[in-house]
């Protein structure tokens, strides 16, 4: 069972679906398109509110002309140790200036969620049982002292320009 | 079929262990239960899988041995060193491996 | 040396608690091994043949006496009474219990140490010249930059799951004592014509299965761009490094397959976008960090000169030790002492808890409380007054670490090998011990001169055999150990990868082969001042092949 989590809590009725041969989006759902598909659709239509799934080998910079047409970008972690999506997320937020929903999909585990949050990912498709449990308890294994700036806004860390301190929870 | 034993490392302390005749993990290779036919090996592997899933051990593997005069001798040098420890004096109070056992 | 501030202390405590939680979840079964493994690797916990192995980070190889004593305490309390210093300036313990490791890490945190990122596919310990801040030939101290990189790379959210491990080394002299050209990133701190500090940047060096010498991609990177440029390199690597094949996943393969020019273009493009970002280093921050590395106030000790001459005349052993193990310091009243962890017939790089405590005492009394770990598995007291050399020597004699063999044939580098390591194909340590005993005679060693033997027990090359003057690579052949010999490797500023010279040798024939190589060298060198490496570079492999294998046709 996969649930969608954001820092505000689990999300009900999430419309986004990754289509496969077996699974297609229903009337109420919306497909997360592959990068080439998304570009084709955006070029051929006036559709807005689209969703795209960025795979690790994709060049996320190709999204630049289409950002205002996107409601969600999902970045894939097919294996939790495939760290390319951390760079995709960083580039999307910092280089391309993307501001809408950025979702981690794939092998999302609790120990990586704090790092994902720091690179600007703000929603998570979670299947792992331990991760679901910890998220429902809001127990993230995070370290609030950071030794480097990242996407997520943080306070200046004491001592040196590269340090940051996580902002206190709202 | 070559004789086989089941080995792993204990989760808590990482120490190399072998499955003995009582279904317990022993720190001595010489206590290991020997599987002499395919069914016995399959049974060993099943125990190993369960023990891994039960978080008792990690790195479970089947090791080929030969039994001579009751002594179990792994064919691989690596496994002989695992059974006996480092092959030189490395710390006071810990005996090095027996060179004859280690030898090819 | 760097001292933790409140921020650092808080971070390390948080990290210890985080790992304690992860260990507890693992032991209770809530966390499975495949999810736990990358987490434990990020905390330096390996599983080896006999037990777990804990690798402690010693940032750029620098330790205080207090820290060394804590390492001794950990050896005593949680392990079997000894530790092993590595070719990346770290320390390894071979027998810790997983259940004890959080406590050991808490003990380390109390003295500003940790085991963070000494393993796993992340940025590892940044290493530096072990004579930094003391060497007479130093242009600029590499350590402040190593410290800045260390901080910046700690739990970096974008770079915690790279294609593979990532190693950075920094040097600040023309002589490269940090082997920067066989690192993923090598930095040479230098000054331009205006006296400004910057870096020559090398990328894509490495050993292992496919040894490669790094490419110079930037001749002079201004100091303030250090973090932006490094981010650019690591980001390009994170996105494009291969993830399909563990043996082709280092950045050296990416450089090779992409082409140096194209890869440089990608890095420079990424850097252009980052150059003016918040990663730019303010001068005041660099100075604040550099202040930690200000040299200690070294009192004048002119009496050292006269005393030294007298002691040397009185004790030939002491004279030999000074000759071989003491290097020139910036301050002429002082010397840099190499404590050889290669006693004849001993295990290279190992030290007992008692030896560590004794060295800590010596460092405190005579060494301004500073110890270094070299990538050649020795310890250094970088600041010792000549006037105190005799006392230090006596202290080392008392703990059996006064061998006068720094850089000589018995100063062997050896990985743990098949005696410990789950990756190994062959043993390294017994071979090192045998070679050491064969060549143990002091006069003979002095006669042979500088000769660096490096032994690896498998292709991963943790013994750095590719850059050994004589390299030995242990392989497995038909269930038995076999050793390939390479010649002419070097990790200094003229880096070269050693050349395989022929068929491998069985364990009981290796030492004789080394003798043959040494005798051949002695027979053809111009004079004593032409060391082995220089002679090899002059004559090439042929004389050695002929000596070992007979006619050229016999050589494999």
> pLDDT per residue over C286-327, tens digit each?
999 999 999 999 999 999 999 999 999 999 999 999 999 999
The pairing of strands C413-414 and C379-385 is unpaired
End-to-end CA distance of chain A: 29
pLDDT confidence of residue C552? 54
Question: Which residues of chain C have a CB within 8 Å of the CB of B78?
Answer: 49, 418, 424
Question: Which residues of chain A have a CB within 8 Å of the CB of C282?
Answer: 161
Instruction: Classify C202 as helix, strand or coil.
Output: strand
C161/A145 CB distance under 8 A: no
pLDDT confidence of residue B104? 86
Question: What span, in angstroms and rounded, lies between the C-alpha atoms of A8 and C541?
Answer: 68
End-to-end CA distance of chain B: 21
C321 vs A23: which has the higher pLDDT:
C321
Helices C101-110/C6-27 angle, 10° precision = 170
Instruction: Classify C87 as helix, strand or coil.
Output: coil
- Do residues C352 and C398 make contact, with C-beta atoms less than 8 angstroms apart? no
Same domain membership, residue C426 and residue C322: no
Q: Which of C51, C100, C415 to mutate to test the interface with B (most CBs of B within 10 A)?
A: C51
- The answer to whether residue C556 scores a pLDDT higher than 50 is no
Percent over 70 (pLDDT), chain C: 99
Q: What is the mean pLDDT of residues C502-525?
A: 98
pLDDT confidence of residue A130? 87
What angle (nearest 5°) sits at the alpha carbon of residue C545, between those of residues C543 and C550? 100
Q: How many domains does chain A have?
A: 1
- The answer to whether residue C65 scores a pLDDT higher than 70 is yes
Domain at C74, CATH number: 3.90.480.20
Question: What span, in angstroms and rounded, lies between the C-alpha atoms of C187 and C170?
Answer: 5
- Within its chain, how far is the Cα of A106 from the centroid? 11
pLDDT tens digits, residue range C342-371? 999 999 999 999 999 999 999 999 999 999
Question: What span, in angstroms and rounded, lies between the C-alpha atoms of A121 and A89?
Answer: 7
- The answer to whether residue C113 scores a pLDDT higher than 60 is yes
Any B CB within 8 A of C39 CB = no
Q: Which of A129, A130, A144, A162 to mutate to test the interface with C (most CBs of C within 10 A)?
A: A162
**DSSP assignment letter at B31:** G
Q: What is the mean pLDDT of residues B62-90?
A: 96
Q: What is the mean pLDDT of residues B9-25?
A: 96
C80/B76 CB distance under 8 A: no
Query: C345 is in which domain, residue-wise?
Result: 303-398
**DSSP assignment letter at C463:** T
Nearest to B84 by CA among B11, B3, B18: B18
Question: What span, in angstroms and rounded, lies between the C-alpha atoms of A90 and B98?
Answer: 56
Chain A residue with CA closest to C39: the answer is A111
Same domain membership, residue C286 and residue C144: yes
A147/C160 CB distance under 8 A: no
Residue B67 lies in a domain: yes
Same domain membership, residue C312 and residue C231: no
Of the pLDDT bands very low, low, confident and very high (cuts 50, 70, 90), residue C420 is very high
Residue A49 lies in a domain: yes
pLDDT tens digits, residue range A58-83? 999 999 999 999 999 999 999 989 99
Task: Kindly report the average pLDDT of chain C as a whole number.
Answer: 96
- Do residues B84 and B74 make contact, with C-beta atoms less than 8 angstroms apart? no
Question: What span, in angstroms and rounded, lies between the C-alpha atoms of C158 and A125?
Answer: 19
Same domain membership, residue C328 and residue C248: no
Residue A9 lies in a domain: yes
Mind giving me the DSSP string for C88-132? Answer: TS-EEES---GGGHHHHHHHHHHTT-B-TTSSSSSB-PPEE-TTT
Q: What is the mean pLDDT of residues A120-125?
A: 97
Percent over 70 (pLDDT), chain A: 99
pLDDT confidence of residue C439? 98
Chain A closest CA to C132's CA: distance in Å? 23
Chain C closest CA to B39's CA: distance in Å? 27
Q: Which of B11, B76, B90 is facing C98, going by the closest CB pair?
A: B11
pTM of the predicted protein model = 0.94
Same domain membership, residue C75 and residue C205: no
Of the pLDDT bands very low, low, confident and very high (cuts 50, 70, 90), residue A142 is confident
Run of H or E including B4: strand B3-10
pLDDT confidence of residue A23? 87
Which of C67, C93, C110 delimits the end of a domain? Answer: C110
Query: B71 is in which domain, residue-wise?
Result: 3-75
Q: Which of A78, A81, A158, A166 to mutate to test the interface with C (most CBs of C within 10 A)?
A: A81
A147/C154 CB distance under 8 A: yes
Q: What is the mean pLDDT of residues C215-220?
A: 98
C47/B76 CB distance under 8 A: no
C297: region left, alpha or beta (phi > 0 left; psi from -120 to 50 alpha): beta
Instruction: Classify C556 as helix, strand or coil.
Output: coil
Chain C closest CA to A116's CA: distance in Å? 7
Instruction: Classify C364 as helix, strand or coil.
Output: helix
Same domain membership, residue C139 and residue C246: yes
- Do residues A104 and A75 make contact, with C-beta atoms less than 8 angstroms apart? yes
End-to-end CA distance of chain C: 50
pLDDT tens digits, residue range C366-403? 999 999 999 999 999 999 999 999 999 999 999 999 99
Domain at A93, CATH number: 3.20.20.70
Question: Which residues of chain B have a CB within 8 Å of the CB of C97?
Answer: 12-14
Cα-based distances in Å from C538 to C469, C488, C497, C515, C532: 13, 10, 16, 20, 10
Residue B47 lies in a domain: yes
Residue A44 lies in a domain: yes
Q: How many domains does chain C have?
A: 4
Residue B14 lies in a domain: yes
pLDDT confidence of residue C38? 85
Same domain membership, residue C330 and residue C252: no
Chain C residue with CA closest to A160: the answer is C285
Chain B closest CA to C439's CA: distance in Å? 19
A81/C121 CB distance under 8 A: yes
- The answer to whether residue C60 scores a pLDDT higher than 60 is yes
Number of CB atoms found within 10 A of residue A143's CB: 18
Chain C closest CA to B51's CA: distance in Å? 11
Q: How many residues does chain A have?
A: 170
pLDDT confidence of residue A170? 58
Q: How many domains does chain B have?
A: 1
B9/C47 CB distance under 8 A: yes
- Do residues C40 and C97 make contact, with C-beta atoms less than 8 angstroms apart? no
Residue A87 lies in a domain: yes
The dihedral of CA A71, A61, C164, A147: what is its sign? negative
Question: What span, in angstroms and rounded, lies between the C-alpha atoms of C404 and C413?
Answer: 16
Question: Which residues of chain B have a CB within 8 Å of the CB of C47?
Answer: 9, 14, 58-59
Chain B closest CA to C422's CA: distance in Å? 8
Same domain membership, residue C140 and residue C287: yes
Question: Which residues of chain C have a CB within 8 Å of the CB of A76?
Answer: none
Run of H or E including B83: helix B77-84
Same domain membership, residue C61 and residue C175: no
Chain C closest CA to B52's CA: distance in Å? 9
Q: What is the mean pLDDT of residues C153-177?
A: 96
Instruction: Classify B7 as helix, strand or coil.
Output: strand
Residue C129 lies in a domain: no
Q: What is the mean pLDDT of residues C439-466?
A: 97
Residues of chain A by 3-state class (helix, strand, coil), percent to 5: 30, 25, 45
Q: Which of C6, C152, C243 is facing A147, going by the closest CB pair?
A: C152
Same domain membership, residue C59 and residue C91: yes
Question: What span, in angstroms and rounded, lies between the C-alpha atoms of C205 and C215?
Answer: 7
Helices C542-549/C507-524 angle, 10° precision = 130
Query: A13 is in which domain, residue-wise?
Result: 3-140
Q: Which of C14, C123, C239 to mutate to test the interface with A (most CBs of A within 10 A)?
A: C239
**C neighbours by CB contacts (3+ pairs under 8 Å):** A, B
- Do residues C96 and C54 make contact, with C-beta atoms less than 8 angstroms apart? yes
Torsion of CA C427, C429, C431, C436, to 10 degrees: 170
Residue C96 lies in a domain: yes
Number of helices (H) and strands (E) in chain B: give both, helices first: 3, 5
pLDDT confidence of residue A84? 98
Which of C239, C261, C291 delimits the end of a domain? Answer: C291
Kindly give, in sequence order, each residue whose CB lies less than 8 Å from that of residue C497, ignoring residues fewer than 6 positions away: C211, C212, C213, C466, C467, C486, C489
Burial degree of C294 (CB within 10 A; 0-12, 13-18, 19+):
exposed
Same domain membership, residue C254 and residue C348: no
pLDDT confidence of residue C553? 47
Number of CB atoms found within 10 A of residue C427's CB: 28
Of the pLDDT bands very low, low, confident and very high (cuts 50, 70, 90), residue A169 is low
């Amino acid at each position: 069972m996969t649930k969608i989590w954001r820092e505000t809590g689990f999300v009900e009725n999430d419309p986004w679906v990754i289509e496969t041969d077996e699974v297609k989006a229903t009337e109420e759902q919306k497909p997360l398109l592959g990068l080439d598909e998304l570009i084709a659709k955006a070029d051929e239509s006036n559709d807005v509110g689209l969703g795209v799934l960025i795979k690790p080998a994709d060049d996320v910079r190709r999204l630049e002309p289409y950002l205002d047409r996107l409601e969600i970008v999902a970045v894939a972690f097919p294996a939790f140790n495939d760290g390319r999506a951390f760079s995709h997320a960083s580039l999307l937020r910092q280089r391309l200036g993307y501001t809408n929903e950025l979702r981690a999909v794939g092998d999302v585990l609790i120990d990586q969620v704090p790092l994902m949050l720091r690179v600007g990912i703000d929603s998570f498709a979670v299947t792992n049982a331990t991760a679901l449990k910890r998220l429902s308890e809001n127990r993230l294994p995070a370290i609030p002292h950071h030794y480097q700036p990242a996407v997520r806004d943080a306070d200046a860390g004491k001592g040196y320009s590269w340090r940051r301190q996580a902002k206190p929870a709202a | 079929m070559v004789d086989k034993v089941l080995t792993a490392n204990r989760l808590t302390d990482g120490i190399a262990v072998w499955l003995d005749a009582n279904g317990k993990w022993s720190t001595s290779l010489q206590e290991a239960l020997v599987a002499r036919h395919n069914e016995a090996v399959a049974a060993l592997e099943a125990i190993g899988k369960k023990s891994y899933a039960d978080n008792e051990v990690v790195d479970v593997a089947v090791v080929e041995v030969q039994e001579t005069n009751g002594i179990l001798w792994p064919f691989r040098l690596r496994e002989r060193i695992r059974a006996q420890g480092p092959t030189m004096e490395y710390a006071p109070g810990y005996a090095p491996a027996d060179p004859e056992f280690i030898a090819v | 040396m760097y001292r933790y501030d409140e921020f650092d202390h808080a971070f390390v405590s948080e990290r210890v608690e985080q790992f304690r939680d992860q260990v507890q979840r693992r032991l209770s079964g809530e966390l499975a091994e495949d999810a736990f493994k990358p987490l434990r690797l990020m905390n330096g916990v390996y599983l080896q043949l006999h037990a777990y192995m804990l690798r402690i980070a010693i940032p750029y190889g620098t330790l205080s006496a207090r820290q060394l004593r804590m390492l001794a305490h950990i050896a005593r309390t949680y392990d079997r009474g000894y530790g092993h210093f590595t070719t990346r300036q770290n320390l390894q313990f071979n027998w810790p219990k997983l259940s004890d490791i959080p406590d050991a890490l808490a003990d380390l945190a109390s003295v500003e140490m940790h085991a963070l990122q000494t393993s796993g596919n992340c940025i590892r310990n940044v290493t530096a010249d072990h004579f930094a801040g003391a060497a007479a030939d130093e242009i600029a101290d590499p350590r402040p930059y190593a410290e800045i990189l260390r901080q910046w790379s700690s739990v970096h959210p974008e770079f915690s799951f790279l294609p593979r491990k990532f190693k950075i080394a920094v040097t600040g002299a023309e002589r490269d004592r940090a082997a920067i050209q066989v690192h993923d990133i090598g930095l040479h701190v230098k000054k331009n014509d205006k006296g400004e500090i910057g870096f020559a940047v090398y990328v894509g060096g490495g050993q292992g299965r496919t040894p490669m010498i790094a490419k110079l991609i930037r001749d002079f990177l201004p100091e303030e761009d250090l973090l932006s440029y490094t981010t650019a390199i690591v980001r390009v690597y994170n996105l494009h490094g291969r993830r399909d094949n563990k043996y082709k996943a280092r950045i050296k393969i990416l450089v090779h397959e992409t082409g140096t020019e194209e890869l440089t273009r990608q890095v420079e493009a990424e850097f252009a976008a980052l150059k003016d970002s918040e990663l730019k280093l303010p001068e005041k921050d660099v100075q604040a960090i550099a202040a930690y590395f200000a040299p200690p106030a070294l009192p004048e000790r002119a009496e050292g000169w006269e005393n030294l001459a007298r002691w040397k005349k009185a004790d030939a052993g002491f004279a030999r030790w000074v000759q071989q193990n003491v290097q020139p310091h910036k301050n002429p009243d002082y010397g840099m002492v190499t404590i050889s962890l290669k006693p004849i017939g001993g295990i290279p790089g190992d030290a007992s808890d008692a030896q560590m405590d004794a060295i800590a005492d010596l460092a405190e009394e005579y060494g301004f409380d500073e110890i270094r770990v070299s990538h050649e598995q020795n310890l250094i007291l970088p600041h010792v007054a000549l006037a105190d050399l005799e006392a230090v020597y006596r202290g080392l004699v008392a703990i059996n670490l006064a061998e006068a063999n720094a850089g000589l044939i018995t100063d062997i580098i050896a990985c743990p090998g098949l005696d410990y390591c789950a990756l190994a194909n062959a043993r390294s340590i017994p071979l090192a011990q045998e070679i050491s005993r064969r060549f143990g005679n002091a006069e003979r060693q002095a006669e042979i001169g500088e000769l660096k033997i490096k032994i690896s027990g498998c292709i991963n090359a943790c013994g750095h055999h590719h850059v050994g003057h004589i390299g030995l690579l242990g392989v497995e052949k038909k269930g038995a150990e076999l050793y390939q010999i390479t010649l002419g490797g070097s990790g200094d500023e003229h880096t070269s990868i050693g050349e395989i010279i022929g068929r491998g040798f069985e364990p009981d024939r290796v030492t004789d082969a080394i003798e043959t190589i040494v005798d051949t060298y002695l027979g053809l060198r111009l004079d004593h001042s032409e060391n082995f490496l220089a002679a090899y570079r002059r004559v090439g492999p042929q004389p050695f092949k002929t000596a070992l294998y007979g006619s050229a046709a016999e050589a494999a």
